[in-house]
């Protein structure tokens, strides 16, 4: 718990110092494969917006831009190197050959909705860009649905910081609740999408 307090204090200090560029850089790291959680970036930025040190709209926009840029970094890594990135498993990132193949098949089958949902899910959001790059998903669609999915998560995290402020206990509590709610919403969207597609296929 003490470590969480120290991390949040550090982020608040440095986001205030480096401003919107700091948010973009940190969210770039979070959205690529670097182990840097958005949960310790956007709530402190939201708090700074609540006390007038930053603009709320620009905070959210910076978070979305950083997320898209980080996702594009992974996307183009996969475009350039293809499956060679995953030969033997991307084990130090927790992405095995089998998991990558499942994600790839999911994207091939569901495309845009897969990218959108992937950005809402913990851990998966960092890796969903790799199979998108390997299958050469249309770049405009990739950016659009990455932006929408990331935007929802960035907005939720920012508003937690905006309303809860520097109360670390409440931040942690609301983060857990937000994660669970997001997982449920993503699951509902997926079920509706799958059922809708099955209905369309039956009518064809």
Is the model's pLDDT at 1 over the cut of 50? no
The percent of residues above 70 in pLDDT, for the chain, comes to 72
Residue 181 has a pLDDT of 75
Per-domain boundaries in the chain:
2-203
Q: What share of the chain is helix, strand, coil (3-state, %, to 5)?
A: 85, 0, 15
Residue 204 burial (CB count, 10 A): 4
Residue 178 has a pLDDT of 72
pLDDT tens per residue, range 110-137: 778 888 888 887 767 778 888 889 888 8
pLDDT tens per residue, range 155-181: 988 988 888 876 666 666 666 777 777
pLDDT tens per residue, range 10-33: 665 666 677 898 899 888 988 887
Q: Are the C-beta atoms of residues 45 and 20 closer than 8 Å to each other?
A: no
Is the model's pLDDT at 91 over the cut of 80? no
Question: What CA–CA distance (Å, rounded) separates 116 from 109?
Answer: 14
HSE-up (13 A, CA, CB side) for residue 39: 20
Across the range 75-88, mean pLDDT stands at: 79
């Amino acid at each position: 718990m003490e470590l969480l307090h120290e991390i949040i204090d550090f982020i608040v200090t440095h986001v205030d110092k480096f401003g919107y560029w700091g948010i973009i850089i940190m969210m770039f790291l979070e959205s690529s494969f670097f182990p840097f959680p958005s949960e310790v970036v956007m709530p402190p930025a939201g708090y700074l917006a609540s006390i007038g040190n930053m603009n709320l709209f620009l905070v959210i926009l910076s978070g979305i831009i950083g997320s898209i840029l980080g996702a594009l970094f992974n996307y183009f890594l996969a475009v350039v190197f293809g499956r060679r990135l995953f030969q033997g498993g991307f084990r130090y990132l927790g992405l095995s050959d089998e998991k990558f193949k499942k994600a790839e098949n999911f994207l091939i089958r569901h495309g845009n909705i897969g990218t959108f949902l992937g950005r809402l899910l913990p851990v998966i959001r960092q890796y969903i860009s790799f199979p998108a790059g390997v299958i050469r998903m249309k770049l405009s669609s990739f950016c659009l649905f990455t932006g929408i999915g990331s935007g929802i998560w960035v907005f939720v995290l920012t508003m937690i910081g905006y309303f809860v402020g520097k109360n670390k206990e409440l931040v942690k509590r609301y983060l857990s609740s937000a994660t669970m709610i997001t997982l449920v919403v993503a699951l509902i969207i997926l079920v509706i999408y799958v059922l809708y597609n099955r209905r369309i296929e039956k009518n064809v």
